[in-house]
Amino acid sequence: MKLLKLTGFIFFLFFLTESLTLPTQPRDVENFNSTQKFIEDNIEYITIIAFAQYVQEATFEEMEKLVKDMVEYKDRCMADKTLPECSKLPNNVLQEKICAMEGLPQKHNFSHCCSKVDAQRRHCFFYNKKSDVGFLPPFPTLDPEEKCQAYESNRESLLNHFLYEVARRNPFVFAPTLLTVAAHFEEVAKSCCEEQNKVDCFQTRAIPVTQYLKAFSSYQKHVCGALLKFGTKVVHFIYIVILSQKFPKIEFKELISLVEDVSSNYDGCCEGDVVQCIRDTSKVMNHICSKQDSISSKIKECCEKKIPERGQCIINSNKDDRPKDLSLREGKFTDSENVCQERDADPDTFFAKFTFEYSRRHPDLSIPELLRIVQIYKDLLRNCCNTENPPGCYRYAEDKFNETTEKSLKMVQQECKHFQNLGKDGLKYHYLIRLTKIAPQLSTEELVSLGEKMVTAFTTCCTLSEEFACVDNLADLVFGELCGVNENRTINPAVDHCCKTNFAFRRPCFESLKADKTYVPPPFSQDLFTFHADMCQSQNEELQRKTDRFLVNLVKLKHELTDEELQSLFTNFANVVDKCCKAESPEVCFNEESPKIGN
């Protein structure tokens, strides 16, 4: 397999779309050809991602068979494009070949998808994906020396295994992101295998790669969840906010053209159509660079780079400078006598213009906060336009906007103060208790992961100047992950209400939730309070995971206890672990002390 040619291939947060019509403009043809060549050169990696995400339980050997079949298919079509099979959409070909693998659909329980065709089959494969990957074995790890030996002896096999394991554990992450992660992994391996201290090198250089994957995973699941639960219009407004903040000098007409490219046909990336996703991502980047003079002054150097570097350069570029002639506020939405008439003439365009004008004037606000303001403005006009004096009613809209922003700001300030008082571990235990109480139906691993991500939001943001937007954006992603991508996901009535009622106000909705009253705890088991000497042999990270899992399972078991009572039991547990690990005979100590924890 050829070396990945896309270290950073177009990883902007703005993804779609690509029509099936072939391009005709010279620049578009050049972009299409380079993208097509990348796809052809990396068909093996692309097949690994698609198969591992669609059939997460499949073995590496089963995946290898499909890769071989897809490479042969590609070779046939490159030799003779007139063959009937070559006119099919790549994702349909892939799914047909998966279904044709002898015994595989029955073995891994997706034969019901294979009985469907086209869009129904695509949706079936999508809904078959599992975000909770607790059913998979632990991620296989090699020590650095073994990793370097494997890389030097057969880099192709090592990279294939890595991509397979990462893709099956991240079934909703877009293909371009996974390809970049694989390219970064190879960079780390290549560099660290030349170092004397390989252990420190791998540990240090792997951190940003892992963070990159986690960040994009959260964001992509969040937006795909919005698409599936609320429809294209919500995604449309999300990107009006994002693009208006990043490119404040862009003209409204150009913005809408770009937003439509981004948000329409978002299905490809979200459903896991890897080929279409790569094409669509490339098309959006080409759109941005072809109009850079009217979009942003910050991306000129980025757009001069070749496709491999162009994407990451743009995503890392700063927000463009605010136009000097841009007033601090846009009065036409609150001062005009004709607001109601303009709204009624074309509501979608009217509110899109409002979102654009307000967002580009407020780069300090978070995406969800700006969406809340849009919703407040919609609700206000719905009321005001039915009164005898609409202008006298909506004249005070700015006060309403400031009111909700002040409320959200105070919430973030309180949370950051909470973080400063409790510290990182204390805040994590607070959120593990809180999240488990409101959504005890989730698996232990999923709750631990959500707690960690919530704490990451505060440790990342609470010392920054843009504290408010940072915390609100990241916390919103955590709640998006809790709600999940699948529109049919149900947890409990209260959580489902927050997930499905209003996208902009999900976080305030979750903040108001109490412990789930519909939950029936599992029968008491002394096993939860039984510990052994192996606790003392656990490395710091492993011990922390065991501790977090214990706390979540404790809350699930004793759901009726107050936070203070649960914290007291948890403190008993921590004291027992500390005491017994210092004892002459830890096992004897645990046998004596463990039963006392739950009392």
Which residues does the annotation place in the binding site?
273
Contacts for 450 with CB less than 8 Å, ≥ 6 apart: 431, 435, 442, 478, 481, 482
Burial class (CB in 10 A: 0-12, 13-18, 19+), 585: exposed
The closest alpha carbon to 130, from 251, 281, 272, 335, belongs to 272
Q: 225-229 long-range contacts, Cβ below 8 Å, gap at least 24?
A: 225/480, 225/483, 225/484, 225/485, 226/480, 226/503, 227/266, 227/267, 227/270, 228/270, 228/485, 228/486, 228/487, 229/483, 229/487, 229/499, 229/500, 229/503
94 token code pair: 């892939």
Contacts for 200 with CB less than 8 Å, ≥ 6 apart: none
254 token code pair: 């150009």
Q: Answer yes or no: are the C-beta atoms of 171 and 217 closer than 8 Å.
A: no
Q: Answer yes or no: are the C-beta atoms of 306 and 35 closer than 8 Å.
A: no
Binding-site residue numbers for Zn(2+) are: 273
Note if the bond before 17 is cis, omega within 30 degrees: yes
Contacts for 441 with CB less than 8 Å, ≥ 6 apart: 491, 492, 516, 519
The closest alpha carbon to 447, from 553, 530, 577, 524, belongs to 553
Distance CA 306, CA 70 (A): 28
